[in-house]
Structure 1
């Protein structure tokens, strides 16, 4: 899908102090790359939503400058600045007496788009978020589920093709099943559209699942760490970040750590045309009582255990198919889930049809250990305080 790609967002020593002396954000330096999805996380009152609203000029910063691309938007008209930004909030904010089509068309109408262009764009955006315009276009918000209303909110924010998308707890008000679907769908949409996204959430699991990088804030708008999810979970910058992401951050790291060839173990391999006696000899000298069956081209065909290698015949006569495999690059979380679900001690990993090795609970643990360079301090950057 063609469209406007994301632009960089840069905050330079941005601060917000209210009239009563309350500091919401202080000296915030943050640089977001074009097309990047950055999640802002932290406890209540840490300034993450205030930061988003300053970018959108709903709140004026006390100090500092904010750039979209090379434009300092603190020096431009707020209404004009917002035309380059889509905004999605938890409460959605759909107009109750307007249809889905009319709601989605809000910004294009304000920008003076003609009816044909607006109608085409509305249909395109509704299809993008998984809502058939012929089915849902003429419905009203009260006729939709919470998840469907949230999808309309995303469609509306994207309708005028802004380079930047600001999202404040967008999926927080929907049920967990719908939330999982919305998260997965939004990540697919972002991969296709390549917008620059600032995403506020209180849920570290949501941030880990969606973000390219995570900015962890403490109270007073202090940026404690700004790094990719694996680094935030595996090498928190300090005790505050470690406490915030939780003692179970090792489990969360499963979701962001990919399977790499170096993580794999290599049991004996045999070919389907080999005699059972040869397979038995190979297995008897192996740590575990099985061998993986691959053909001459290295393609995975199944496995054979020690008990199946008695008697005469070939491996192909006795081999067993796998219930499941994993692809190199899949997450450790997905692989471990398959191992547990099938009550297996190992899971074969492939690259296309080519067999690479097997993953075991022991190798999953070793893979997690390689992502932890040290307890604290191995960070991409903790920001300016």
Structure 2
């Protein structure tokens, strides 16, 4: 969808902002440009909508050389979100959001209807927030309006320059989650500039790590963290890159353990006898459909006519199988748990232990370093006793 072909930007004073950039962004891909201030990442993004023109080289959007496209026409077909949102202070939120559709010739009623849909999509009730003015919104709400406005004309390409940088960390986390949800539904082609490697890792399908005017590495977050291409990249992503990799490493079903389990309706005495025979001190409690209910200690199962249901404890420490090792580790810490249940919907798959989590992370790092699939990575076992 976006292709840079040997693109250089050099200013009259001799300053070279970017030098010989060649890379591609696939349709529906979210690429983060990350690096220190002055490295050329914002210049790169601004050349895509011709706010800056390159000195040499070509940039193509959907196969067309943008040098031959009228800049105004080009910009109306590309969404643009900046850190301070750039909302018009004397226009309502609804009219701000409808700006681009109106400029491209939409009827006002249609443009406002589209604006209302987008406000709802980003979590702002148009009946409540539509009549308000930007000064009546919080920083996070203004950023949401900025995203809605950029999406209003349904552009295939979205440019985002530090879009979440002007809000506090809690709001920033929420906005990042919301944007990932939107991107999963909309599949826009996105270039997002950030100086924050954590944000780049969390949001990007691929990351372009910038040095001075050039890309040092262009790869997936897992590969950038697991196998930095240069000492500069290794230093930039940080010495704690193994911890950062938790956030981009998914849970593998092969790493799950299957502990003893009992059913809710099973007689307590029978369950206790079976677990003691197996030498189990506790068991997972499932319902008849295999959904997780909780857990129970073997010694808490008493005789009589009671069932396991009368002794089971609810299980709060769990994650979906689609989650990451970071999410699993966070839940372990939150609940001070020695293991965490992994679910597919409501169905119980197994548990992830700290040992298995560590092995999974080491295997992922090993696969990146060795250039082989994760399941074929060779790592030395760490004795646990």
TM over 0.5: yes
The corresponding residue for 1:231 is 223
Query: 1:277-296 residue pairs with structure 2 within 5 A?
Result: 277-283=273-279, 289-294=281-286
For the residue of structure 2 that corresponds to 1:45, the secondary structure is: coil
| Gap change, CA 1:219 and 1:160, over 3 Å in 2 | same
The corresponding residue for 1:383 is none
| Aligned counterparts of 1:128 and 1:275: Cα–Cα separation in 2 | 49
Could you tell me which of 364, 370, 377 is aligned with 1:371? Answer: 364
Determine if contact 2:251/2:321 at 8 Å carries over to the other structure.
Answer: yes
Are residue 88 (structure 1) and residue 81 (structure 2) matched? Answer: yes
Q: CA deviation at 1:39?
A: 0.6
Provide the TM-score with structure 2 as the length reference: 0.89
Residues paired across the two proteins, number: 367
The corresponding residue for 1:102 is 95
Query: 1:1-385 residue pairs with structure 2 within 5 A?
Result: 8-220=1-213, 222-271=214-263, 272-273=266-267, 274-283=270-279, 289-294=281-286, 298-308=290-300, 316=308, 318-373=311-366, 378=371
| Aligned counterparts of 1:63 and 1:357: Cα–Cα separation in 2 | 56
| Aligned counterparts of 1:9 and 1:118: Cα–Cα separation in 2 | 28
Show structure 2 runs of 5+ residues with no match: 373-385
- More deviation in 167-176 or 69-78? 69-78
The corresponding residue for 2:376 is none
Determine if contact 2:242/2:365 at 8 Å carries over to the other structure.
Answer: no
Q: CA deviation at 1:291?
A: 2.9
| Aligned counterparts of 2:148 and 2:20: Cα–Cα separation in 1 | 34
For the residue of structure 2 that corresponds to 1:372, the secondary structure is: helix
| Aligned counterparts of 2:306 and 2:74: Cα–Cα separation in 1 | 72
Give the CA RMSD over aligned residues: 2.1
Provide the TM-score with structure 1 as the length reference: 0.89
Alignment deviations for residues 306-352 of structure 1 (CA, whole Å, 9 cap, x no partner): 43357677772544332232221211112112211211101122223
Q: CA deviation at 1:366?
A: 0.9
